[in-house]
């Protein structure tokens, strides 16, 4: 896969690069307007072998811990920030999924592979969006036509399919904490949501769906992230709150993501938009993880046990599938 111009898109201060993406028009004449997408992640299992000391310690830690100014990695830094980081211009072992979608974003087929890749660039979210908006940086400019624009065009198709599913469309209000040299908080600033963020999020969701479908086809149990229907008392509290804003949420309506999206759309361009997002979010049932077979959700580490060299320290795509 080293000849494929895969790129990593991360926050500007990211120290490691876990996933890479690529998209191109599908050359299949039976799929006009369709797309071929590749999502690749670092193949940690290439280095962390089952039962090894690395595997044992990774199991004890369970995950990397992220703080405003540092990361306590699950794996040694020689792996987490070097050999298992998809750095530009160097060969890296990867685990990838090829996805073919039609022009409406509906998946036609997918295929998982292990391979070697060589990322052509790491670009910050802001620089990707700036390039698409007409002001490319020196890093993004050479990749604009052949890499970035096809990614956005493929995402246009995926977005069509997402709109047809109408999943819950809550806008997050993320903050970034700025510290001084002494580790004291200087400022807490909001993160600006960009379409570049959604491009990567939706590609990761697509990878998760493919992984779940493959696991189900192989009859392999996996841990899934589950969202149950909101509790009636929480919905009633939401209804009373909305009434204070002159919005009537009828009791006879069936609870569904489309219903909550109707509420969000009503207030989207108003001063109450972020408050409504928070209230609707709090009305939902807290997600939990469940070992079930028939579901579509996250790609857990043991998902790759259907292929060679399974390990406890395998990378995952964490996401919520609408």
**Residue 195 pLDDT:** 95
Distances (CA, A) of 180 to 21, 25, 184, 188: 34, 46, 6, 12
pLDDT at 294 over 80: no
**Domain extent listing, the chain:** 7-226+287-306, 232-283
pLDDT at 210 over 60: yes
153: Cβ–Cβ under 8 A, 6 or more apart, which residues? 23, 25, 35
Q: List beta partners, residue 113.
A: 96
d(CA 47, CA 44): 6
**Residue 151 pLDDT:** 98
Q: At what angle do helices 195-217 and 125-132 cross, to 10 degrees?
A: 110
The predicted model gives 277-284 an average pLDDT of 90
Choice among 80-89, 177-186, 243-252 with the minimum mean pLDDT: 243-252
Closest Cα to residue 4, out of 106, 114, 133, 119? 119
292: pLDDT confidence band, cut at 50, 70 and 90? low
pLDDT at 81 over 70: yes
pLDDT at 307 over 70: no
Q: Which range has highest mean pLDDT (30-34, 215-219, 223-227)?
A: 30-34
pLDDT at 313 over 50: no
Number of H helices, E strands in the chain: 8, 12
Size (the chain), residues: 322
**Residue 193 pLDDT:** 87
- The C-alpha R_g of the chain, in whole angstroms, comes to 21
The predicted-structure confidence for 36-67, as pLDDT tens digits, reads as follows 999 999 999 999 999 999 999 999 988 888 88
**Residue 99 pLDDT:** 98
**Residue 311 pLDDT:** 41
**Residue 131 pLDDT:** 97
């Amino acid at each position: 896969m080293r000849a494929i111009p895969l790129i990593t898109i991360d926050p500007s201060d990211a120290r490691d690069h876990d996933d890479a993406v690529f998209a191109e028009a599908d050359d299949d004449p039976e799929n006009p307007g369709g797309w071929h997408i590749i999502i690749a992640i670092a193949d940690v299992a290439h280095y962390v072998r089952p039962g090894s000391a690395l595997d044992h310690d990774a199991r004890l830690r369970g995950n990397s811990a992220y703080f405003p100014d540092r990361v306590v990695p699950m794996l040694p830094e020689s792996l987490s920030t070097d050999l298992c980081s998809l750095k530009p211009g160097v060969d890296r072992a990867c685990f990838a999924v090829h996805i073919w979608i039609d022009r409406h974003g509906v998946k036609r087929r997918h295929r998982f592979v292990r391979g070697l890749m060589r990322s052509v660039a790491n670009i910050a979210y802001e620089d990707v969006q700036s390039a698409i908006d007409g002001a490319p940086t020196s890093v993004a400019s050479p990749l604009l036509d052949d890499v970035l624009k096809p990614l956005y065009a493929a995402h246009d198709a995926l977005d069509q399919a997402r709109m047809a599913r109408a999943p819950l469309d809550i806008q997050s209000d993320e903050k970034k904490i700025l510290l001084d040299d002494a580790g004291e908080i200087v400022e807490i600033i909001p993160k600006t949501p960009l379409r570049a963020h959604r491009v990567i999020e939706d590609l990761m969701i697509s990878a998760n769906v493919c992984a779940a479908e493959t696991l189900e086809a192989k009859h392999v149990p996996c841990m899934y992230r589950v969202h149950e229907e909101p509790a009636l008392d929480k919905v009633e509290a939401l209804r009373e709150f909305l009434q204070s804003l002159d919005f009537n949420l009828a009791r006879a309506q069936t609870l569904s993501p489309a219903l909550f999206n109707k509420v969000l759309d009503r207030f989207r361009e108003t001063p109450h938009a972020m408050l409504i997002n928070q209230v609707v979010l709090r009305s939902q049932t807290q997600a939990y993880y469940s070992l079930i077979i028939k579901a579509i959700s996250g790609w857990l580490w043991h998902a790759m046990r259907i292929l060679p060299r399974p390990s406890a320290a395998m990378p995952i795509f964490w996401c919520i599938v609408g």
